[in-house]
Structure 1
């Protein structure tokens, strides 16, 4: 009996080790990358650091809201009671000269600016976790497939967490992607997945990338952490500014509130549209994600004309009700200098017509008549 038990434990260990060698986990930074990290003011003691230190993030093992409860119990408030209303815009038919944003759910966005097609943190998969059948997409939100995505000039990846860097999506889109822009260390994942080095722009915070006369990408700070497996902060988490002569856009990636928003605004000027982390919040990770109130303050700091809630609407990674971020932000909007932009997944935001846009509260499903 003991021999059978030992054999079972050994078999599980071997299977677990083999699973962890799966290419979807990516690759750690190589020696050349590590040497480059030493030049970064944000890297010391073998890891990257935030501008403002954060307390250790924990999910207490004795909490009644621990990991097993989160992944496997049925808290109905964390997911919509029925399929969400969406609008499946044909992205191939949008004139490339139009400046637009299309929310693809959670933190994924399709953006056209200055004639360039940009894809931000694309996750088209049904789940956002290395563990099968966990963190499943809400019903009705997986309306886009790889075939629906046109050829992409630049993919922007904010960090290497599973709900932002999705291996199946990246690999399925690989032949459609010209270039990727990532923080330090994240390029190692793409190289391990067969991307050419000259496709990868890998850089530190506060870097300005002039792509042509009409488009500049700013790689900027965020307040978060990174890691696809056990080791944290071996790669850098970033936010992005997307700037053309006509537009100033900002994507926060995952970020807690911090002084970096004011610093970014001082450097870039007022923002037309800010796509801001406004969901998946809890006191246990208070400093690495924003509450709706934090997101509103960040919108004020950035002097944004419009704010789109991100990190919401497709996956549940926190304990609050799935629609709480939308309801809170809608309640705050009347007192804010910015307009709240709440498109349905797939709905087009025309950047030339921001002042004319008016979205219904589609998340109030019982009050929504159109799908």
Structure 2
């Protein structure tokens, strides 16, 4: 084979790969970029400038001079089996359809997904029922034993809350399956573009900016809160807004941080809406190389105190591994750092109810039983 012929073959393969990649990026799993009136609304936001959303404080994505490719390669080469549990995680499956909707409670579904009953409303947050939270097969596989629920096992959902558009929070197959069962969606600016492409009725979708307050009932408000993170499902970032949520009923105050690094927004939210009866905070998938966009357990403890929390549960843990730390490291460190704090640390297994009516409850160090 001549060098010329070899070069032509390499070129042909390269062109084929590029064409295939471009074609694959047209798949609906990647969503849709905001445009038209939605884009005009985004451009009017005080949090949008220079053609993208910005955090409240300066937030470099990385704290290292490494390229992203170099960092990914380093993670692969230095990977450890400890990032995944060696056995199935313990769970407690309850029939969500038979729960009394008048009973306020929270059920962790794994990672950042929650089923909530508050003020008579059934609320679902960042639902991911897929066993692989990625558009690429076998790249972000759920831990053994954590694939507990399907969308079909949920009761009708009054409110679906989406914090941002990353694949481990906005899951395409889950959103398709849930669409007939959801009455209303509340999310950050721009996320509606994805939902519209996936067949959601936009009259049922509210896209909100930070600090917008939405009255659901006279007894329940939802505040869309700041987070310190980023967004994007393809190569173009920060075209949709990343958020947290404060759920404020006449009797109970809950807070969901979304993915976030530590920042002054926690203290501001605690002063504006606290004290909170229960909070769930980003406490996993951290690494010194991206320290600005995810909290480590000790920072989560500080955030819980800033929020004046009475009880705290970690999120972004226990189902997927996105960082090189051991899968149980967030639980171990958080249990240690929470000793002597004013809040109670609640560490349910996936599916175990957390009641919000002041009853006595106990939660084990279940991760210590996984060998």
Structure 1 and Structure 2 fold alike (TM over 0.5): yes
Tell me which of 262, 286, 294 is aligned to 2:291: 286
Equivalents in 1 of 2:122, 2:75: separation in Å? Answer: 36
Give 1:71 deviation, angstroms.
5.8
In 2, distance between residues paired with 1:296 and 1:68? Answer: 32
Structure 1 pair 113–62 and aligned structure 2 pair: CA distance change class (3 A): closer
Distance 1:195 1:255, change over 3 A: same
Aligned residue pairs, count: 366
**Higher mean displacement: 159-168 or 66-75:** 66-75
> Which residue of structure 2 lines up, in the alignment, with residue 46 of structure 1?
51
Counterpart of 1:262 (choices 267, 279, 284) is: 267
Q: CA deviation at 1:64?
A: 10
TM value normalised by structure 2? 0.95
* 2:325 corresponding residue in structure 1: 320
Aligned position for 2:248:
243
Measure the CA separation in 2 of the matches of 1:48 and 1:64. Answer: 24
Q: Give the conservation status (yes or no) of the 8 Å contact 2:63–2:291.
A: no
In the other structure, the counterpart of 1:349 is 354
- Map 1:186-205 to 2 at 5 A: 186-205=191-210
Q: TM-score, normalized by length of structure 1?
A: 0.95
2:180 to 166, 175, 183: 175
Counterparts of 1:89-238 in structure 2, within 5 Å, are: 89-238=94-243
**Cα distance, 1:106 vs. partner?**
0.3
State which of 91, 108, 114 in structure 2 corresponds to 1:86.
91
- Give the secondary-structure state (helix, strand or coil) at the position aligned to 2:87: coil
State the alpha-carbon separation in 1 of the partners of residues 215 and 261 from structure 2: 28
* Uncovered stretches (5+) of structure 2, i.e. residues with no partner: 1-5
Between 34-43 and 69-78, the greater mean CA deviation after superposition = 69-78
Match of 2:364 among 360, 365, 368: 360
| Alignment check: 8 A CA contact 1:102 1:109 kept | yes
Q: CA RMSD in A?
A: 1.7
Name the SS for the 2:357 alignment partner.
helix
Q: Distance in 2 between matches of 1:19 and 1:64?
A: 21
Structure 1 segments unaligned to the other structure (5+ residues): none
Matched residues in 2 for 1:129 and 1:135: separation?
6
Please name the residue that 2:344 is paired with: 339
TM-superposed CA distance for 1:14, in Å, is 1.6
The answer as to whether partners of 1:205 and 1:221 remain within 8 angstroms in 2 is: yes
C-alpha deviation, 1:95, in angstroms: 0.5
User: What is the SS of the residue equivalent to 1:240?
Assistant: strand
Q: In the aligned structure 2, how far is the partner of 1:322 from the partner of 1:60?
A: 26
Quote the offset at 1:60 in angstroms: 6.2
Provide the C-alpha distance between the structure 1 equivalents of 2:173 and 2:190, rounded to a whole number of angstroms. Answer: 20
DSSP-derived class of the 1:364 partner: helix
Deviation at 1:59, TM superposition (A): 7.5
* Alignment deviations for residues 90-120 of structure 1 (CA, whole Å, 9 cap, x no partner): 1011101110100000000000001101000
CA distance in 1, matches of 2:64, 2:28: 27
Cα 1:62/1:184, change in 2 over 3 Å: closer
Contact kept? 1:59, 1:66, Cα under 8 Å:
no
The residue aligned with 1:304 is 309
Alpha-carbon shift at residue 126 of structure 1 (Å) = 0.8
Q: 1:60–1:66: 8 Å Cα contact kept in structure 2?
A: no
Tell me, yes or no, if structure 1 residue 272 matches structure 2 residue 268: no
Q: Distance in 2 between matches of 1:146 and 1:60?
A: 42
